[in-house]
Amino acid sequence: MCGIVGFVGARDDAREVLQAMMDLIAHRGPDGQGQFLEGPVALGQRRLSIIDLEGGRQPMYNEDENLVVVFNGEIYNFQSLAEELRAAGHTFATRSDTEVLLHGYEQWGKGMLDRLRGMFTFAIWDRRENTLLLARDHFGIKPLYYYQNEEGELLFGSEIKSFLGHPGFHKELNEDQLSLYLSYQFSPGENTFFKGVKKLMPAHWLEWKDGQATVQRYWRPEFKPDDAPSLQEWEKAISDTMQESVTAHKIADVEVGSFLSSGVDSSYMAALAKVDKTFTVGFANKQYDETDYATEFSKHIGVKNYAYRITPEEYWANLGRIQYHMDEPLADAASVALYFVNREAAKQVKVCLSGEGADEFFGGYNIYKEPFTVSWYDHLPLWLRRSVGAVANLLPPVPGINFLVRRGRPLEERYIGNTNLMGERRKRKLMKHYTGNCKPTDISRPFFEMTKGQDPVTRMEYCDLNLWMVGDILLKADKMSMANSLELRVPFLDRKVFELACRIPTKCKVNAQQTKIAMRGAAEMTIPAKTADKKKLGFPVPVRAWLREEKYAAILRDAFATPAAEKFFNTKELNRMLDQHVSGKRDNWRQLWCVFIFLVWYDEYFVKR
């Protein structure tokens, strides 16, 4: 696990610039660093040593040194690929997974990408062809950003902040992203909050040659439900596949631990992995604390649990640092708790397993129950539902109103993912420069077009797999683990697991009463039924309660009085929403938190720096 940076564009100070970029992501790899500079290209890597501690140094070369690579991630099938490549005549100098990328590219070109099983971003420079290839893994577990300036220089890196070390990077806010963020709570799509900086999207490669960058998708996930197997057969298949995936994800030359909350995903993961240590965080408020459960469950599976309770003071004190590490604003309050559990785990191990991906693969979100609740309403004429929803949207938010508003529109118009914090009406009142040029559905619509004819749950899963999971779940998993120099591995997000999950019919995933039906059944083969059947809670964080205390509400009032708040928002409306929340008249905490976190992030990148 590492961080990579680089650029293409000849400059006299290339070595110093590359080092400055590498220093800005030193937290991703405190165990070592390496550089390659030749002609117009500069490649840098910071290393967190996990596999082949001595032989896996980067940059790495193939036999004739025609190819050079810097790599971030893990290839879990590298041993079988290495055997295949040796049989084809390739000679390996190390036992690291990095070297498989070089020989694989020699043998199969870009076709290598479809053979890889793992999480990765990498850059390969072909010295003979003067060509740079960048690539990102199938699900977007590892991030990669790129930027091309007017001078024609191409910059890339595992984190946007690395670009701040390059004189050719012109830092400018992309204000168009703000409106999308206020709905999604993260920065969706390929654009970022930095003008000109793009994300290389999951399952994409970028090739730079002769000053031109070409981007292309090399793989696309597809759901292909199969009604033939029984529920019991699916449960057995999940159990077998997950055991194999966890075994593959434990390959390391260092100790591996596991995160543990009170949910089925992490509990199942910890039990399958048979690690020696689990890690949990909670809060002093029992309603938001999972540490007692984690201690009890860890004893049940015979491992030691390390639990840590976060104080309100340290939660709030670390918000700036966390948003700096995030690169772009992320208003998921659970990301802060994730920072602390990674911090605590990093004191004991260098690698941890986590349960991300189970919900998108196996139907885990409570919103997926929606098509099965009050289903008769969807059979009413659309014009009637639209009319009722339009009227309901003008009424105060009392119970039942949200249902009428949501169900008054077709799925592809109302569903953009797990969060839809603010509609256009709310944003128009709140934003100083609202344009409405890009609506949230402009981002989600292509994914619904790709799933036409499929059932509503499958369509929501596909949307979440491409948006919510990448922009929120995996972003915070990578950034919060790397901020603490910890490698996080996600065995649910595995190609072999998806090849199974994509065939499971919706009836074996979710109904009106339960989510992750088949996966919970598989988990019951390993963990107690009361744990496997536990209702999904997410990562409970007491921000809603804190914001009803004047002590913490005052922090938001101060933020809403800053020049940045005045620049972007109608602060009178913000304070009115805060007063409503403090008094208990409305539950506005998510919307308030979203604006506040943007201001915290903006302060880190455009005021302090």
For strands 212-217 and 204-209, give the pairing.
Answer: antiparallel
| pLDDT tens for each residue of 438-477 | 899 999 999 999 999 999 999 999 999 999 999 999 999 9
Residue 259 β-bridge partners:
279
User: Both tokens of residue 130?
Assistant: 């003067």
- 171 membership: H or E segment, kind and range: none
Is residue 282 a contact partner of residue 288, using CB atoms and an 8 Å limit? yes
The pTM is what? Answer: 0.95
DSSP assignment of 378-403 equals GGS-HHHHHHHHHHHTTS---TTHHH
Q: Where are the domains of the chain?
A: 2-217, 231-313+328-363+465-532
pLDDT at 218: 98
Pick from 202, 223, 193, 268: nearest CA to 473:
202
Q: Is 155 helix (H, G, I), strand (E, B) or coil?
A: strand
Q: Looking at the domain 231-313+328-363+465-532, which fold is it?
A: Rossmann fold (3.40.50)
DSSP assignment of 12-39 equals TTHHHHHHHHHHTTGGG-BTEEEEEEET
DSSP at 534: P
Pick from 598, 540, 592, 609: nearest CA to 261:
540
Q: Which residues are catalytic?
A: 2
pLDDT at 380: 77
Q: Please give the Cα distance from 329 to 598 (Å, whole number).
A: 5
Alpha carbon 355 to chain centroid, angstroms: 12
The class level of CATH for 2-217 reads: alpha beta
Is residue 298 a contact partner of residue 260, using CB atoms and an 8 Å limit? yes
- 145 membership: H or E segment, kind and range: strand 145-148
Side chain identity at residue 220, one-letter code = R
For strands 204-209 and 131-136, give the pairing.
Answer: antiparallel
Q: What is the CA radius of gyration of the chain?
A: 24
Beta strands of 392-549 (E only): which ranges? 487-489
pLDDT at 542: 92
Beta strands of 311-382 (E only): which ranges? 351-353
The dihedral over CA atoms of 358, 364, 365, 369, expressed in degrees to the nearest 10, equals 160
Segments of the chain with pLDDT less than 50: none
Q: Please give the Cα distance from 328 to 192 (Å, whole number).
A: 7
